[in-house]
Structure 1
Amino acid sequence: MCGRYASAKDPATLAAEFDAADAMGDAAPDLDYNVAPTKSVVTVVQRHPREADGTVDRSRTERTLRVMKWGLVPTWAKDASGGAKMINARSETAAEKPAFRKSLAERRCILPADGWFEWRRDKTSKQPFFTTPRDGSSLAMAGLWTTWRDKADPDAPVLITCAVLTTDAVGPLAEVHDRMPLLLGRDSWANWLDPDSTDVAGLLAPPSIDLVDGLEIRPVAQAVNSVRNNGPELLAPLEAEALDLDAPDLFSGRA
């Protein structure tokens, strides 16, 4: 699963990395080392632009950074309260679920991340781990998005929400948790984001072991457990003697 992650690169850096225009403006979220459900998050989308008269120009697409709320609220939902429970969508079943299937077909996005947090449990404790690219690049977490309108208040702004797709954990990541975000390699970004691409089944498989080999898994302090804590110290590796769990292979920092 993915219930907490870090997004601490500025919009200009993300725009360059994902070859996207920054369309967030003043709505851009602050740098966040402890992104939690229902927060506003940065996403990458690719859509056909509209002309001044509202006509969709299907001859071209634009890739942009957009702000969405993490926790998908289906268009048919009576209210927005259920979004906090729909932060993840299982890649294996998203095409079948009423809440996700239309978004999978038509509204896909990428959620850039410096890395994600996961908790490894034993009988008496939970140890948080942070998984991040060794080279400092951003992860591209596959996501779905949609829009929701409050029928009781036609003047209310449209709510744009998203969910992270998850998949079976690969290799040593399974030592921490059996699920992980669905990560997209750079060569998959264009097809995933293409609004005219209807066949993305091949991109829903767990990431390759080569991609996973480029990740570092490191134990971090319990401070990340509280969403009130937010700062680069949350990403700092714990010393071996501070670990509650016996995880020598993970602590070595090698995936």
Structure 2
Amino acid sequence: MCGRFALLPNAAVIEDIFGVPVEAFPPRYNIAPTQPILVIAGGMPREPGSNQPDRMSMLVRWGFIPGWVKDVSQFPLLINARSETAATKASFRAAMRHRRVLIPASGFYEWKRTGRKNAQPYWVRPTGEGVVAFGGLMETYAEPGGSEIDTAAILTTGANSQIAHIHDRMPVVIRPEHYARWLDCVGNEPRDVADIMEPVEPGFFETIPVSDKVNKVANAGPDIQEPVEVLQEEPQPDDAQKPDDQLTLF
């Protein structure tokens, strides 16, 4: 899964990578669910016969709300969507077909359970640093009062052998050569992009143990990414529940 991530470069860098205008923003070291996140969305082809879609950047709420939800207060917070089932799940089916987006990120945080009460956070970033694009889904939710809110979820896939010792899921990474195909929801159905949602190869990311400062949303400075010694694992009973079991249903 992906419960926190970061986006550190300035807007000019993002504009250069994704080819879209982006409003200036400060480095964000600890992006949490329900906060605004930057997404890159596709549009209609620039001219007849072109496969290169227009793109635009926008801020949306991290926490997907399907259009058919009647009472948001009674609906779970959907921050992730399983790539293997997104095309068939009622919550994500329409967005997977019509509203795929790219979510720029400098990396993400993941927690490894080390005992009943302890979890070791890791900062997982591209080897050599840089920016990646997570595969995402977007939905514009119309509230009962008539106002609208743009929402999004990050697609996840099975962890590769490098990440699996920390968690069994990881974000889907869309490679630059696949941006156009991913964003073209007119010409490409979900089955046409299934091949680009596979886990990245071991070595694509590097994993850095960090302190539990990242656990608090209020801690949003660069110090939360400073390396620390890994916590020693505690013996766990066979029936110990993973901390995020309730978030792996989608």
Change (3 A) 1:83 1:136: farther
Equivalent of residue 230 in structure 1, options 200, 213, 220: 220
Any idea what the Cα deviations from partners look like across 1:108-155, whole Å, max 9, x if unmatched?
A: 00111111000011224210001101222112110000111113x12x
* Aligned match of 1:31: 27
Separation in 2 of the partners of 1:200 and 1:130? 28
Task: Check whether the contact 1:223–1:229 (CA below 8 A) recurs between aligned residues.
Answer: yes
Q: Distance in 2 between matches of 1:227 and 1:101?
A: 31
- The TM-score normalised by the length of structure 1 is 0.82
Distance 1:146 1:106 in 2: 9
After TM superposition, give the deviation of residue 243 of structure 1 in Å.
2.3
Once the two structures are superposed, the pairs formed by residues 137-176 of structure 1 within 5 Å of their partners are: 137-151=130-144, 153-154=145-146, 156=147, 158-176=148-166
Confirm or deny: 8 A CA contact 1:111 1:141 kept in the other structure.
yes
- Whole-angstrom distance in 2 between the partners of 1:58 and 1:100: 29
Quick check: 2:63–2:77 contact (8 Å CA) kept in 1?
yes
What is aligned with 1:40?
36
Pair 13,161 (structure 1): closer, same or farther in 2 beyond 3 Å: same
Percent of aligned positions with the same letter in both sequences?
35
**1:67 pairs with 2:20:** no
2:204 is matched with: 214
Structure 1 residues not aligned, in runs of 5+: 50-56, 247-255
Indicate if the aligned counterparts of 2:99 and 2:139 stay in contact, CA closer than 8 A: yes
Residue 188 in structure 1 maps to residue 178 in structure 2: yes
How many corresponding residue pairs? 226
Q: CA deviation at 1:79?
A: 3.5
Normalising by structure 2, we get a TM-score of 0.84
Equivalence map 1:64-143=2 (5 Å): 64-81=56-73, 85-124=77-116, 125-143=118-136
CA-to-aligned-CA distance 1:180-220 (integer Å, 9 cap, x gap): 1111222221111113221222223222x2xx413211101
* More helix, by proportion: 1
1:129–1:220 CA contact under 8 A, matched in 2: yes
Tell me, yes or no, if structure 1 residue 6 matches structure 2 residue 6. Answer: yes
Alpha-carbon distance between aligned partners in 1 of 2:198 and 2:57, rounded to the nearest angstrom: 25
Q: CA RMSD in A?
A: 2.0
1:8-38 deviations in Å (ceiling 9; x for gaps): 222221111112222xx4xx66431111000
Q: 2:193 pairs with 187, 200, 213, which one?
A: 200
| Bigger mean CA offset, 11-20 vs 174-183 | 11-20
Contact 2:4 2:109 in 1 (8 A): yes
1:83 positional shift: 6.9
Q: Which runs of 4+ in 1 moved over 6 A?
A: none
1:93-114 deviation line (CA, Å, top 9, x unaligned): 1111111011111100011111
Q: Is the 8 A contact 2:6 2:28 kept in 1?
A: yes
